[in-house]
Amino acid sequence: MTTTVVCFLVTLMMTRADPDLTWRSDDVTGQEARVDVKKKQIGLRLCGPADRDYSFNPSAPNGPNNWGRVSWCCDGFLQSPVHVTRQTARCGEVMGSVLYSTVLPVPGIIYNTGLIGKYPKMSFYGRVELTNVPGTNFRDRYVLDSLHVHFGNSRQVGSEHRVNGRFYDGELHLVHYKDTYRSLDDAMSREDGVAVIGLMLELVPDTSGPNWALWNMTMNMGRLLGVGSRYSRDHEVNPKWLFPMRPDFFTYRGSLTGPPCSESVRWIVMEEPVKITREMLNVYWNLPSDEGRLISDYTNVRAVYPTGNRMVQTNFFC
């Protein structure tokens, strides 16, 4: 009995202390995250806001491979983004779609870089709530906090999630927190605290017409060619206008895709992409970062993580 306990403790200590761990890399796309398969899953990792800054520069000491040093949660086993596919999802297990409480545009402020990240961002001060979030009670309300955009520096490397085998040109995240918590910062360390909707952005010819609400917001973001609070402006948008035609989505439990990487997120990833133009993509690619470069130099896209034994469900039949 004692020997078993000692062995267990030694194993645990060795696992934590051993810096030479085996990494498994799925090199299908070069965008798969390296995951330490020796470590045992300990459970859900919940973290509050990180107090250290982080970078997307792969060779920086606080770069993506070292985010675990910025926040312990980033080395967790329920991380996002992931690859979602019709082949591996449990189709038709979720009823209906998510619902926003407003028919009007919601006011907010757009920034080039937000206070917590390296993304063009809009923070909402007008209140709008999301209901019918999968995995929650229908009456649970999630307040829209902000939206931000992820993008690469060339075609088809801009989305964080991989959907049915492909990456898109960008990904827009609508970030919500449960209304029983005080704020997003408060909610991110709670198991049921956060719901994020991921919209894939796909480049189409200028003549075929982008999503005009997103076009308008993006052009305004393009006028913020600086860094800091001076480079912000008022804007308003109804989040419903940003969605694709089809309400079909994948849903699973995951994390914030940047530090603190808290595993408090109910993800809703829309299957149909939203249309953007080359003009919009050029705006994103030319936005400055808070490191004195362009955001697109290192991009702001995190690599894909294994789904593991997590269940991915859909609200449509495959």
Residues near Zn ion, by CB under 5 A: 173
The CA distances from residue 311 to 5, 89, 221, 291, in Å, are 33, 7, 36, 37
State which residue, 39 or 174, has the beta carbon closest to Zn ion: 174
Rounded Cα distance, 99 and 134, in Å: 11
Closest by CA to 76, choosing from 168, 158, 191, is: 191
State which residue, 81 or 210, has the beta carbon closest to Zn ion: 81
The answer to whether the CB of 226 falls within 8 A of the CB of 287 is no
Q: How far is the CB of 103 from Zn ion (least distance, A)?
A: 26
State which residue, 118 or 173, has the beta carbon closest to Zn ion: 173
What are the residue ranges of helices labelled H in the chain? 2-17, 67-70, 184-187, 212-222, 278-285, 295-298
State which residue, 63 or 91, has the beta carbon closest to Zn ion: 63
For 134-264, where are the E strands, in sequence order? 142-151, 162-163, 170-178, 194-203, 232-237, 249-254
Rounded Cα distance, 51 and 59, in Å: 20
State which residue, 41 or 162, has the beta carbon closest to Zn ion: 162
Give the H/E segment covering residue 269.
Answer: strand 265-270
The CA distances from residue 232 to 32, 72, 115, 123, 135, in Å, are 34, 32, 12, 10, 35
State which residue, 87 or 189, has the beta carbon closest to Zn ion: 189
The answer to whether the CB of 132 falls within 8 A of the CB of 98 is yes
Q: How far is the CB of 258 from Zn ion (least distance, A)?
A: 7
State which residue, 104 or 281, has the beta carbon closest to Zn ion: 281
State which residue, 45 or 173, has the beta carbon closest to Zn ion: 173
Give the H/E segment covering residue 23.
Answer: strand 23-24
Q: How far is the CB of 80 from Zn ion (least distance, A)?
A: 9
Strands 194-203 and 265-270: parallel
Q: How far is the CB of 158 from Zn ion (least distance, A)?
A: 12
Q: How far is the CB of 198 from Zn ion (least distance, A)?
A: 8
Closest by CA to 64, choosing from 73, 55, 76, is: 55
Which position's Cβ is nearest Zn ion? Answer: 173
Q: How far is the CB of 257 from Zn ion (least distance, A)?
A: 5
The answer to whether the CB of 215 falls within 8 A of the CB of 239 is no
Q: How far is the CB of 26 from Zn ion (least distance, A)?
A: 22
Q: How far is the CB of 95 from Zn ion (least distance, A)?
A: 26
